[in-house]
Amino acid sequence: MKKVLNVGGNSKDIPLPVQYSGWEHILLDIDPTGHPDVVCDARELNSLPAAEYDSVYCSHNLEHYYHHEVTKVLAGFIHVLKEDGFVFIRVPDMKAIMQMVVQGNLDMDDPLLQVSDGYLSVCDVVYGWGAKIEQSGCDFFAHKTGFSQKTLVSALKLAGFSSIFTMPANGFELHAVAFKTRPTDYAAKLFGFPYL
């Protein structure tokens, strides 16, 4: 059975994308309250065994590290991935968000995104969900960097990924699928070629 390491996924109650149906789901998080399988800071992934996982899934976690730490986190992804493994990353698309803010003449406290229990303001999207940070008392929920398509690809290349495919999603989000070597036929079919 293929194994995915869900980095910073918070809880196994949050479903993984359909690409991981039937995979063994290993949750890694710095916060033990979500009952992760592995309690670890993603900046310390090199402390884990090498080449253990077929994929790393990282949804809305990479922006929680300072800009200068991103390469270390991504290098940790390479460390834990098998040779034919890949990473699937989702981050806010800061270029698209900035364009929406300017075009809509929005201020920092104005609503930007509808969520299940209200909305996220411009400030929440840029700096991290204020209510979650306040409620938890944990500043690791704050956003410390941001990505455009160009900067995300550059960070992945700098970390050592050789094949990188990106696309915007839903207007506010960027998706990237990056491979240590080259995409396998299995991975190409898995994603239905939206990135290839």
Please indicate, yes or no, if residue 137 is contained in any of the structural domains: no
Evaluated on CA atoms 151, 42, 180, 89, the torsion sign reads negative
Q: Which pLDDT tens digit goes with each residue over 56-68?
A: 999 999 999 999 9
Three-class secondary structure of residue 82 per DSSP: strand
**Residue 90 pLDDT > 60:** yes
Q: Would 133 be classed as within a structural domain?
A: no
User: Is residue 100, in this structure, part of any structural domain at all?
Assistant: no
In-domain check, residue 158: yes
pLDDT-derived band at 18, boundaries 50, 70, 90? very high
In this model, does residue 194 exceed pLDDT 60? Answer: no
Residue 68 covered by a domain: yes
Which pairs from 100-105 meet CB under 8 Å and 24+ separation?
Answer: 100/171, 100/172
Cα–Cα distance, 44 to 121 (Å, whole number): 32
Domain carrying residue 151? 3-93+144-190
| DSSP bridge pairs for 169 | 173
pLDDT in tens, 131-156: 888 988 888 889 999 999 999 999 99
In terms of residues, how long is the chain?
A: 196
Within-domain flag for 79: yes
* pLDDT at residue 196, as a whole number: 46
Inside any domain, residue 110: no
Whether this prediction's pTM lies above 0.85 is answered by yes
Looking at the structure of the chain, the number of domains it has is: 1
The CATH number of residue 155's host domain is 3.40.50.150
Residue 143 structure tokens: 């956003």
42 in any annotated domain: yes
Helix (H, G, I), strand (E, B) or coil at 167: strand
